[in-house]
Amino acid sequence: MLIAHLADTHIGAIQYGLLEREEDFYSAFRKAIDKAIEEHVRLVLISGDVVDKPRLGGKPLRVLYHELKKLRDRGIDVVVILGEHDFKRVRGEEPILYLFADQGLVKVIGIGDRLYIKRNVDGYELLVAGVSKHRRNEIKHLLKKLQQLQSVSSNYSGKSVLMLHQGLKEVNPHAGEISVDNLPKNFNYYALGHYHVMNVGIRVGDRGIAAYPGSTEVLRVDELVKEVVLGTRKALTAEKGFLIVDLSGDEPIIHRVGIDVRPQFRIELDLKLFELKNILNTLANALAKLSIKPVLHIKFRGKIENTKQLDTLLSATVGKYVLTYRWEMEDSESISEHCTVPKDYFDMDKELHSIIVKELGSEELARLALDILEIVRSSTQEHQKVHELAELIDRKLLGDVK
Ligand SMILES: [Mn+2]
């Protein structure tokens, strides 16, 4: 009995505001669905963050419709749970996936009392249980539901799968929300979502295995974790795909299925302008050999004042061989050091504060806006920024008591 396990497909994501990066997400999804059909899976699970935002335009909706319909036309069921991107906590607002559920294209579980479905797949009795995303301050509710599911599955004689969209502390201690110990022990397979890097083979109990297929496309630079050589330099890239799980035997057997996505590279370079041009030219030669224009992320060690010159150099060398390049400097606090204007003459922060208070009409919101601004403007890495922003919003808007 073969099952395809996908997660974090983030349909509708538009990275860097580029049309190509919107299409890339559709193409990765299409490839995954086609591959799943080719491999004769009988069921497709998508463990949350199916879509990138709760409100989608016509294009992403049509892509979803066409791909899901391909599966339905072949009698392949699709079961999904909701990730934090699939729904907004606004009263009365419904997840877009309900539209596809109404059309019989997906089964949404893990919301309200609907925590599982039972199916006969290839002559096997199968229980598919799931709980949609719970935030840090809702973990108590999640654990209660997991307990409920533990008793459902212990009274079940067939094979069982549990779908969750949560971070395991064992995989990432900083981003983790629950630990393996919190999982009910008697499922055969734990189809997880939320972490965007593939992670296969986390043991649960005696015979259970938990796995993250990772996202089908690259959303953040911290997903580039595989070492490669680019030209003559070490670089990091991403591997994307999904999992095909065989539940026929005693223990699940997991096959990784790779999806070719647009290459992305992350490199670190010393900021020595006199040799930078040569280095970038060598890099450009390596990039020119790729059949698809990659996304290049450069982290410069050191700092310079004239970033315009650096930008010109980048666009003249690697510019035409990449879809886009993004760069950051390791240390970029130099600008304010050379400020000779006395502080009380014009205080930018004070000025900004009063403008925002006036605009938002609330001291509290203004402070939140300024906190957000500070994180966004900081020189820290992109993934760290996102992490800090998520923490801040959790804390301020959802009253996280961590
Ligand atoms: Mn996600």
Residue type present at position 357: V
pLDDT, one tens digit per residue, over 270-310 is 988 788 999 999 999 999 999 999 999 999 998 888 888 88
State the burial class of residue 359 (Cβ atoms within 10 Å of its Cβ: 0-12, 13-18, 19+). exposed
Contacts of residue 70, defined as CB under 8 A and 6 or more positions apart, other chains included, come to 33, 34, 37
Contacts of residue 402, defined as CB under 8 A and 6 or more positions apart, other chains included, come to 136, 137, 394, 395
Residue 52 lies in a domain: yes
pLDDT, one tens digit per residue, over 56-99 is 999 999 999 999 999 999 999 999 999 999 987 766 788 999 99
Could you list the residue range(s) of the whole structural domain that residue 32 is in? Answer: 2-219+239-259
- pLDDT reported for residue 348: 67
Q: Based on the structure, what is the number of domains in the chain? A: 2
CA of 363 to the centre of ligand 1 (A): 32
Same domain, 322 and 251: no
- State pTM to two decimals: 0.81
Per-residue pLDDT, averaged over 45-49, amounts to 98
Residue 224 lies in a domain: no
CA of 245 to the centre of ligand 1 (A): 21
Residue 391 lies in a domain: no
CA of 118 to the centre of ligand 1 (A): 26
Among 227, 259, 291, where does a domain finish?
A: 259
Residue 155 lies in a domain: yes
CA of 20 to the centre of ligand 1 (A): 20
CA of 86 to the centre of ligand 1 (A): 9
Same domain, 27 and 60: yes
Q: Judge whether 35 and 257 are in contact, CB under 8 Å.
A: yes
CA of 128 to the centre of ligand 1 (A): 21
Sheet with strand 226-230: strands edge to edge:
226-230, 233-237, 264-270, 295-301, 324-329
Same domain, 149 and 179: yes
- pLDDT reported for residue 231: 87
CA of 48 to the centre of ligand 1 (A): 7
CA of 320 to the centre of ligand 1 (A): 31
pLDDT of 251 strictly over 60: yes
Same domain, 18 and 89: yes
Q: How far apart are CA 66 and CA 72, in angstroms?
A: 10
We report the CATH number of the domain holding residue 183 as 3.60.21.10
pLDDT of 330 strictly over 90: no
CA of 254 to the centre of ligand 1 (A): 21
Contacts of residue 199, defined as CB under 8 A and 6 or more positions apart, other chains included, come to 171, 211, 212, 214
Same domain, 170 and 80: yes
pLDDT of 245 strictly over 90: yes
Comparing 143-157, 173-187, 270-284, 388-402, the range with the smallest average pLDDT is 388-402
pLDDT, one tens digit per residue, over 210-236 is 999 999 999 999 999 999 999 889 999
Per DSSP, helices labelled H in 107-246 are 139-154
- pLDDT reported for residue 343: 42
CA of 210 to the centre of ligand 1 (A): 17
Q: Both tokens of residue 182?
A: 């919190």
Same domain, 44 and 70: yes
Three-state DSSP at 388 gives helix
User: What secondary structure does DSSP assign to 138-172, as a single string?
Assistant: GHHHHHHHHHHHHHHHHT--SEEEEEEE--BTTT-
pLDDT of 167 strictly over 60: yes
Residue 81 lies in a domain: yes
* Alpha-carbon dihedral 201, 36, 163, 402, rounded to 10 degrees: 70
Per-residue pLDDT, averaged over 177-194, amounts to 96
Among 259, 287, 320, where does a domain finish?
A: 259
- pLDDT reported for residue 345: 52
Q: How far apart are CA 90 and CA 102, in angstroms?
A: 21
14 φ/ψ angles, rounded to the nearest 5 degrees: -130, 90
Three-state DSSP at 231 gives coil
- pLDDT reported for residue 217: 98
- pLDDT reported for residue 380: 66
Q: Judge whether 106 and 78 are in contact, CB under 8 Å.
A: yes
Same domain, 334 and 294: yes
CA of 369 to the centre of ligand 1 (A): 24
CA of 74 to the centre of ligand 1 (A): 28
pLDDT, one tens digit per residue, over 351-387 is 788 888 888 888 888 888 888 887 787 666 677 778 7
Same domain, 57 and 180: yes
Percent of the chain with pLDDT over 70: 92
pLDDT, one tens digit per residue, over 91-137 is 678 899 999 999 999 999 999 889 999 999 888 999 999 999 999 89
CA of 219 to the centre of ligand 1 (A): 8
pLDDT of 36 strictly over 80: yes
Per-residue pLDDT, averaged over 301-330, amounts to 91
Residue 371 lies in a domain: no
Q: How far is CA 289 from each of CA 231, 237, 283, rounded to the nearest angstrom?
A: 10, 16, 10
Q: How far apart are CA 147 and CA 21, in angstroms?
A: 41
- pLDDT reported for residue 346: 58
Q: Both tokens of residue 195?
A: 């972490």
Q: How far apart are CA 185 and CA 401, in angstroms?
A: 28
Residue 278 lies in a domain: yes
- pLDDT reported for residue 305: 82
Contacts of residue 65, defined as CB under 8 A and 6 or more positions apart, other chains included, come to 100, 103, 105
